Structure 1
């Protein structure tokens, strides 16, 4: 079967290069068209790639499946994940020689690929439990440090609409005091990509000891994940210890959107009027559309 040819986590560009001589004539045309410019290939439609390789669209689909992809869209996601040369302290898939078009494409494509990987990894059961706790919370506090601080602030902006007291904190001393003052019925959401920040782990433990529910948005099986009441575990290849956080931040913002949407849906139709009133309050602040 197709799965014997390549593993989902393999670098697809390397695998194509290694298998080039073993491909039949038509498949080799597809491979060579991709290897000529992998970044451009991620922008192709299946018809465009077929034209570039001078083969039929079914041939392109067969080629993709032979590399363990479910089809051309899945293959493009894996191809985008493989375009990763890396410039330290900038972006994991960015090269110093990249043009504006190249590095902007890489950032967008890597974000799309990372979001798809996160979609597959997120547990609907854990999301459902987190939403249940949030909707019943007496108060909600979002904690984030460094690159996670803006995510916590975004969460406060989303959740204040729900008639639940909500705050965000990025200062570890304030986080520690808020955690210590929490009690049963309070929910604290801690956001950390690595899940290995010592202060965040200690603060989550303090909150758990008070009886608060601690929801972690963090790395799988990390020290922070293990101390949380509920862990929303995110898988992403971005190494934020070397590179500037990019896709990981977008993934965390997306998880906040999922939680906010879940709370909205749980509130039911009667709550829509409340949200409409808040939205309508902004109308006088905006110029009319031409």
Structure 2
């Protein structure tokens, strides 16, 4: 998690939360609820406020990738003075359509800005490299993530790839069993903890295929199976669950991956799009 060092704190706490121990979650809860207060605390004061030991706070900071408590506070300071860390825009019963629009759009902007701060750009480059060099891509996802998998199939076919999207677990495991070492899997999962998906990724891994995971949590069972992990998380609001909010962020990450691959396979893209547009034009009156 070295890429997060002294760059962002609050978004990292939210995306790492499920992978923390109970004592670490208690520290994370306190920091998330009282970030301004923590800025003026010593390590011992934070330990006292959370009924923790100084050593627990120190290990907590290192686990998140910071050099120490002061390193975490430096990243926290950057978050507090960033527009992306503004208070969540809750929708009230008497809000007008204009108010609702402003709040929904602001939440989207905040989510994208937080993801931009915490995205692992080395991992993104690795993902671009893997997809640029393969000829087959399998995209896996369930529910809302299944829609993103379908978007992958729709767009990445423009590179001339053999790309398929599966949201049914039986079709996923059947397809994964036929993968080859040169093939690539792109899995989309908010929690990274779906039992069905984990079985499919284990199958893909046993076949030697490379796995790219787009998820909301830095530490989850699925991240241990993936070769490349791209993380982005949106906060939950009263009108939208965390999983729903994260779909926009995951689509933005996918856009970055798609654009990077297009740079590498520009000739294929141009030639194929000519053919696609010609075929579509023939279907019009």
- TM tier, smaller: 0.5 to 0.7
Distance 1:220 1:12, change over 3 A: closer
Distance 1:204 1:239, change over 3 A: farther
Distance 1:102 1:11, change over 3 A: farther
**1: distance between equivalents of 2:193 and 2:91?**
25
SS at the partner of 1:258? helix
**2: distance between equivalents of 1:98 and 1:131?**
43
Contact 2:192-2:222 within 8 A present in 1 as well: yes
SS at the partner of 1:246? helix
Q: Which runs of 5 or more residues in structure 1 are unaligned? A: 1-6, 17-66, 85-92
Question: Of 131, 134, 138, which aligns to 2:131?
Answer: 134
Residue number in structure 1 paired with 2:163? 166
**2: distance between equivalents of 1:11 and 1:221?**
18
Contact 1:141-1:167 within 8 A present in 2 as well: yes
**2: distance between equivalents of 1:226 and 1:281?**
42
Distance 1:210 1:250, change over 3 A: same
**Greater relative contact order, per chain length (Cα 8 Å cut-off, separation 6+):** 2
Residue number in structure 2 paired with 1:21? none
Higher radius of gyration, 1 or 2: 1
Deviation at 1:78, TM superposition (A): 2.5
Residue number in structure 2 paired with 1:200? 197
Distance 1:94 1:203, change over 3 A: farther
> What TM-score, normalized to structure 2?
0.66
Contact 1:220-1:235 within 8 A present in 2 as well: no
Residue number in structure 2 paired with 1:83? 88
Residue number in structure 2 paired with 1:232? 230
Contact 2:235-2:245 within 8 A present in 1 as well: no
Once the two structures are superposed, residues 176-230 of structure 1 have per-residue CA deviations (whole angstroms, 9 ceiling, x without a partner) of: 1111221211111110011111211221111101111111001211111111111
Deviation at 1:264, TM superposition (A): 0.8
Contact 2:158-2:269 within 8 A present in 1 as well: no
Once the two structures are superposed, residues 51-76 of structure 1 have per-residue CA deviations (whole angstroms, 9 ceiling, x without a partner) of: xxxxxxxxxxxxxxxx95699xx744
**1: distance between equivalents of 2:174 and 2:163?**
16
Once the two structures are superposed, residues 154-181 of structure 1 have per-residue CA deviations (whole angstroms, 9 ceiling, x without a partner) of: 1111101111101101111111111122
CA RMSD of aligned residues (A): 3.3
Distance 1:112 1:285, change over 3 A: farther
> What TM-score, normalized to structure 1?
0.65
Deviation at 1:247, TM superposition (A): 2.7
Question: Of 229, 247, 250, which aligns to 1:249?
Answer: 247
Residue number in structure 2 paired with 1:266? 264
Contact 2:179-2:204 within 8 A present in 1 as well: yes
SS at the partner of 2:193? coil
Q: How many residues align?
A: 219
